[in-house]
Amino acid sequence: MPVTGSLADAVAEHRGALLPVGELPPVPGVSVREVTVPGPAGAPDVLLRVYRPATAGTALPAVLWIHGGGFCLGNVDSVHGGAAQAALAARAVVVAVSYRLAPEHPFPAGLDDCWAALEWVAGHPAELGADPARLAVAGASSGGCLAAGLTLLARDRGGPRLCFQHLSTPVLDDRLATGSMAAFDDTPIWNRPLAEESWRLYLGPWSGPVPEYAAPARAADLSGLPPAYLSTAGLDPLRDEGLEYGLRLARAGVPVEVHNFPDAYHAFGGPATPDQQRRVALEHLDALRRGLHP
């Protein structure tokens, strides 16, 4: 969702109730259902939407699908079409998670909800018709930050074991010290002022050092993480932190594919042409399929 004013104004203007599953645009060949799973201790339950190819067999790979929105916006409605297409293209069970948003629920609330969802998916392969050995995370923008944070948590907590991470124009670094973050201070869709506000709202009252699980670029050690696909946009202030993270993954021995699309804003909006946007979308789906079906 492009933001033309402040994030706080967008939160007040765009928050709304989720559509019932029966009112979502149907996607031929994909079944959709909702399930509510236990949330973090002392927190509400977490809503998940489960997308499954209608004619697929059992033991499909499973992907936890995390929406973006600057930690403050977006919901599972906003990724309905993408999650359904991913389920078809990657022959996978795609599980979109409805996590708590800032500023009402600052870090670690959203990450804790995503962790609860990941644990539930890992623990219920039979119910999902999923292969427990092929579990992945995928996220775009701030959803990419949450996905990358989950890979660090899963490594440090000894599981669930992940086979792949798919990060699209990810948010990764609260320090905002890269060249692209300095250069793109007024670009459409995303820019430095929005990034500053997003981190301020997400971290909220947090005091002391920012944990690597909140800002994965702060992690000193990236070894032992799952293979990755990471994409960046050339006109995005997040470009350099994504490229640097991909390089650090490679240096740490993590198999990683990195693609920078030079003529696009954040999340691959204009000025990329429709043909370029279609190429980006097809590559992302192909990367997910290859990561789940090596």
Residue 236 is a catalytic residue = yes
Q: Which residues are CB-contacts of 262 (< 8 A; sequence separation ≥ 6)? A: 234, 235
Q: How far apart are CA 85 and CA 74, in angstroms?
A: 18
Residue in 67, 105, 166, 266 annotated catalytic: 266
Q: How far apart are CA 40 and CA 113, in angstroms?
A: 6
Residue in 105, 236, 240, 284 annotated catalytic: 236
Q: Which of 237, 46, 210 has its CA nearest to residue 141?
A: 237
Residue 185 is a catalytic residue = no
Q: Which residues are CB-contacts of 123 (< 8 A; sequence separation ≥ 6)? A: none
Residue in 141, 180, 198, 231 annotated catalytic: 141
Please say whether the dihedral angle defined by the alpha carbons of residues 152, 153, 154 and 158, taken in this order, is positive or negative.
Answer: positive
Q: Can you spell out the DSSP letters for 182-214?
A: HH-SS-SS--HHHHHHHHHHHHTT--SSPPTTT
Q: How far apart are CA 64 and CA 49, in angstroms?
A: 10
List active site positions: 141, 236, 266
